[in-house]
Amino acid sequence: MTFSLVLHCNLYPTSSVPGSTHTRGTRSPAPREEEPADTRPSTNARRAHQDQERDNMRPSRGLHLAVLLLLFSASVLLPAARAQEETDEEEEFSYLLDAENGPAHWGDIKEEWSTCGKGNMQSPIDLASPRVSLVRGLGYLNHSYVPANATIINRGHDIMLKFEGDAGSVSIAGTPYFLRQLHWHSPTEHSVNGRRYDMELHMFHESAQGKAAVIGVFYEVGAHDAFLHKMEPYLEMIADRKDREEKMGMMDPRDARGKASVYYRYLGSLTTPPCTEGVIWTIIKRVRSVSRHQLELLREAVHDDMEKNARPRQEVNSRDISMFRPFEQNRH
């Protein structure tokens, strides 16, 4: 938003505007005649006349005050306008259920977000046992993660760890999906037989063709998590500071995922606007542990004290939910 102040101030009387063809207060040159000495203007009279013209050329005190008031108003309004724009941007969507921009209304906020309200393959969902089919043919998750430089970013609605360069990939049906970033939701967005855990990690991957695949990892409060422990000082640095980012150095994504082999698989969507569908979801069944302090750090670091950033569960509709479990595994 831009405010333009245009002041149309005639600081010169008509007689003094450069280029004017009229001269108020002066007469056309008279024929050159010698005036009697006693009829010529006195020196004092000429000075008085010159002083009057100078006064006419000066802006009035009232005009000065008007200009100062306008400039002061601009200095107050412009920052306020920018702050309002930032607030509007930050509040484009909300997780508050009763808010006008809450999850039930995401699809109405923007044309390009309409899938959030009209899609039939939305995420998250409840992984209910009666709907789950055991499909051993899915095979083990074949990943090749490597340590990479990472930057932690407060996105306002979540905390993201963005990898710079190659952090490795996971192979799904023969296609490599490259790891781009990690972010967290609290409580979990997906549930198992109606149960939600304390927190959910999303490991976002993308193929060379731009297709998305996300690996989800559940946490519940208990012992501290070693990967999150490395993030703690950086979380404090970006707490409640939207768009603030800090370089973290090398981070190993293998420490975030863990070594569990049992997982769920289904086709869904992004869980934030624009809710794009066609996302391959892999949810690790084993639940990791996170300390209450680490959980609170992730919650409180989010801008505007948005402690909960989990989208409500969506309808499964006619989708298949598969599970991979090795032959030797009867649990986990």
Cβ atoms of 133 and 323 closer than 8 Å? yes
- Tokens representing 132? 């789950």
Separation CA 100–CA 1 (nearest Å):
23
The active-site residue out of 143, 157, 185, 190 is 157
C-alpha dihedral sign at 181, 185, 190, 195: positive
How buried is residue 213: exposed, middle or buried, by Cβ count under 10 Å (0-12/13-18/19+)?
buried
Separation CA 266–CA 190 (nearest Å):
12
Separation CA 114–CA 107 (nearest Å):
4
Q: Where are the alpha helices (DSSP H) in 22-60?
A: 43-57
Q: Is 157 a catalytic residue?
A: yes
Distances from the Cα of 198 to the Cα of 44, 126, 160, 298, 313, angstroms? 92, 15, 18, 11, 15
C-alpha dihedral sign at 117, 119, 122, 126: positive
Separation CA 211–CA 279 (nearest Å):
7
Q: What angle do CA 44, 45, 51 make, to 5 degrees?
A: 90
Active-site residues, by number, are 157
